[in-house]
A and B are shown apart, each in its own frame.
Chain A
Amino acid sequence: GAVVSQHPSRVICKSGTSVKIECRSLDFQATTMFWYRQFPKQSLMLMATSNEGSKATYEQGVEKDKFLINHASLTLSTLTVTSAHPEDSSFYICSANPSGGPRGLEQYFGPGTRLTVT
């Protein structure tokens, strides 16, 4: 149980284009999902918290107009990187917090999406 999927697992796009990454909780509902970014040899950094049916909460320094988050259902959150640039190349990982569980304490991670912007 508690499986989280991400799609795509890997994407290469040209500078200036937009890329959408999906995060799905497959066997549980998740009121809250989290989006992280990890650069090589660095720690996972929380980008934003996605709440079903409401606006996402962004961490300091993360541009909400560049990283669009939509959490339209209890099993799906999407992250769209708009007008991607090479410096956006990174490993993007989502996690899902089961509804009804201790808020934030129980997080199940997706397998990650490796984005390369050329």
Chain B
Amino acid sequence: RKEVEQDPGPFNVPEGATVAFNCTYSNSASQSFFWYRQDCRKEPKLLMSVYSSGNEDGRFTAQLNRASQYISLLIRDSKLSDSATYLCVVIFSGGYNKLIFGAGTRLAVHP
């Protein structure tokens, strides 16, 4: 079983739609959780951290369910510029806190 699993997509949605991505992780000792965004042939960029209480940043809302080992990202009012691959990232406890990346979920927003 992969350490971090995501639905690869692609999710094809019209502008203005609401779309949700899910991610599950296998290590219950995981400490920290993030969503990164990666554009084609570019480096990943931090989108937001994910907290147990849930957090929101503009049109983006992230949720964490530790009991189910599940993380979600909700994007409201999708824009064309949201088209990218969204990477779920988990940090397992350890001496130097390794980032473990999911394979990503591809989002394509069309006019």
Residues of B within 8 A of A103 (CB): 96-97
User: Is B101's CB within 8 Å of the partner chain A?
Assistant: yes
- Total cross-chain contacts (CB, 8 A): 49
Q: Give the residue name and chain of the B residue nearest to A10 (CB).
A: B41
Beyond A36-B101, A46-B100, A104-B97, 15 additional contacts (C-beta under 8 Å) are A41-B8, A43-B4, A43-B87, A43-B101, A43-B104, A44-B44, A44-B101, A49-B98, A93-B43, A95-B99, A103-B96, A107-B99, A111-B43, A112-B43, A114-B41
- B30 located at the interface, meaning its Cβ lies under 8 Å from any Cβ of chain A in the complex: no
Q: Which residue of A lies closest to B94 (CB)?
A: A104
List residues of B whose CB falls within 8 A of some A CB.
4, 8, 32, 41-45, 87, 91, 96-104
Do the beta carbons of B96 and A32 come within 8 Å of each other? Answer: yes
